[in-house]
Amino acid sequence: MITVVNLARKLLIVSLFASCALFLSPATTSAASTIAACDIPGSSESSVCKDQNSASKDSNPIIGIIKTAINVVSFMAGAAAVIAILISSIKFMTANGDQNSISSAKKTLVFAAVGIIVVLIAQSIVAFALRGI
């Protein structure tokens, strides 16, 4: 039988691994390396370089700033949600059967989950709106 304390411990361990995996994941290829590869003579005919050249000519710098701001805010909200989940799991573990503490921990967990969902929906709405511009 799984108790609330065991569930909170498992949640804490999973969230710690998830946050470590997030920060230790290998970086993807940067745009700078793609730009440098497109500077090689004869490579401008590739589809990647053509897309990059057309995007750099047609893109609006304000849209780039908005996208960067959305990504920064989404990252901060995601980090805050992970911290809230960690706090919730610690509250579960230290509740010692107190119903008020357990209720507070559940509320914290639900608010963190709702926050993640709201950030995902907001980011997808903004991406959809910016695609039309």
The interaxial angle of helices 61-93 and 99-131, nearest 10 deg, is 170
Find the mean pLDDT for residues 7-20: 60
Phi, psi for 5 (deg, rounded to 5)? -65, -45
Kindly state the tokens that stand for 44.
């401008």
Q: Supply the pTM of this predicted model.
A: 0.53
Phi, psi for 97 (deg, rounded to 5)? 85, 0
Q: pLDDT value at position 65? A: 86
Q: pLDDT value at position 60? A: 78
The residue with tokens 């997808």 is 124
Find the mean pLDDT for residues 6-27: 57
Q: Is the pLDDT of residue 58 over 60?
A: no
pLDDT digits (tens, 9 = 90+) for 24-42: 555 444 444 445 556 666 6
